[in-house]
Amino acid sequence: MEENTIFIGNKPVMNYVLAVVTQFNEYDSVTLRARGKAISRAVDTAEIVRNSFVQEADVADIQISTEEVENYNNEKTNVSIIEIRLVK
Amino acid sequence: MEENTIFIGNKPVMNYVLAVVTQFNEYDSVTLRARGKAISRAVDTAEIVRNSFVQEADVADIQISTEEVENYNNEKTNVSIIEIRLVK
């Protein structure tokens, strides 16, 4: 995992937008990583950053995959993953 | 819009998995398109199709963008879009 990867969870989207903008002050590449329902928020974050905060940022790469996780009853279940790499 | 584009909405994910598998019987390329919260379901659909139904399918391209839409109060608001192109 690269150092400047931001994990998108269930907080308000602007929390993550701020985190990405802050990372862009230090790095030229920032990766957003999300699972399951947070995937939509990761895409929102990338789009808000590009449209409103770091207009020169581009989507360099988007990868989707599947991870096996254990739910609350210790049953194995699959969850989708997205990784969006932004570069400026 | 290509002919074999499937619009992902709020139905159960397996509805869309079935639609993609059906399209793959006729075409070598299928594009999944979703907005807002349905984006997670589009990624789920692509991953379930690839992992369980059409193992030879690959993700050829993923694009994200923003569209301006009018909400119920006729106010303009932005919504994120994802397009996932699967090929076999």
Residue A1 has pLDDT above 80, yes or no: no
Nearest C-alpha neighbor of A40 from the set B38, B47, B7:
B38
Residue A79: both structure tokens together: 């969850």
> Does pTM top 0.90 for this prediction?
yes
Question: Which of B37, B47, B65 is nearest residue A64 as measured by Cβ atoms?
Answer: B47
Residue B1 has pLDDT above 60, yes or no: no
Q: What is the per-residue pLDDT for B74?
A: 86
For the domain bounded by B5-87, which CATH number is listed?
Answer: 3.30.110.20
Q: What is the per-residue pLDDT for B71?
A: 81
Find chain B residues with C-beta within 8 A of A64's C-beta. Answer: 43, 46-47, 59, 62, 84
Contact criterion met (CB below 8 Å) for B5 and B20: no
Q: For the segment B53-74, what is each residue's pLDDT rounded down to a tens digit?
A: 999 999 999 999 999 998 888 8
Q: For the segment A22-35, what is each residue's pLDDT rounded down to a tens digit?
A: 999 999 999 999 99
B39, A43: Cβ pair inside 8 Å? yes
DSSP structure string for B13-76: HHHHHHHHHHHHHH-SEEEEEEETTHHHHHHHHHHHIIIII-TT-EEEEEEEEEEEEE-TTS-E
Q: What is the C-alpha to C-alpha distance for residues B44 and A67, in angstroms, rounded to an integer?
A: 11
Residue A51 has pLDDT above 70, yes or no: yes
